[in-house]
């Protein structure tokens, strides 16, 4: 990263979406340290967070309704 500190990413979802995202991280990450690749992405990669929210909001309803089954 060329010696510069990464900018912190801002979670642009709702409070409920943020709680769900944090719960997923807790369930699926066993690093026990907040600087593994998954936690690093969640803290610094704005485009990744925005993409996750986009997919969650656009595909989740269709998946829950069984549109893709």
User: How confident is the prediction along the chain (69 residues), in pLDDT tens digits per residue?
Assistant: 445 556 789 999 999 999 999 898 888 887 876 678 888 888 899 999 999 999 999 988 888 887 666
pLDDT at 20: 92
pLDDT at 6: 64
Long-range contacts of 42-51 (CB under 8 A, 24+ apart): 42/9, 43/6, 43/8, 43/9, 44/6, 44/7, 44/8, 44/9, 45/9, 46/7, 46/9, 46/10, 48/9, 49/9, 49/10, 49/11, 49/12, 50/12
pLDDT at 35: 72
pLDDT at 41: 87
Domains of the chain, residue spans:
15-64
Is this prediction's pTM over 0.75? no
């Amino acid at each position: 990263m060329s010696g510069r500190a990464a900018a912190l990413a801002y979670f642009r979802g709702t409070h409920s979406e943020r709680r769900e995202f944090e719960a997923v991280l807790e369930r699926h990450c066993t690093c026990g340290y907040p600087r593994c690749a998954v936690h690093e992405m969640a803290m610094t990669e704005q485009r990744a967070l925005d993409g996750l929210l986009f997919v969650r909001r656009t595909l989740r309803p269709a998946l829950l309704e069984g549109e893709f089954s």
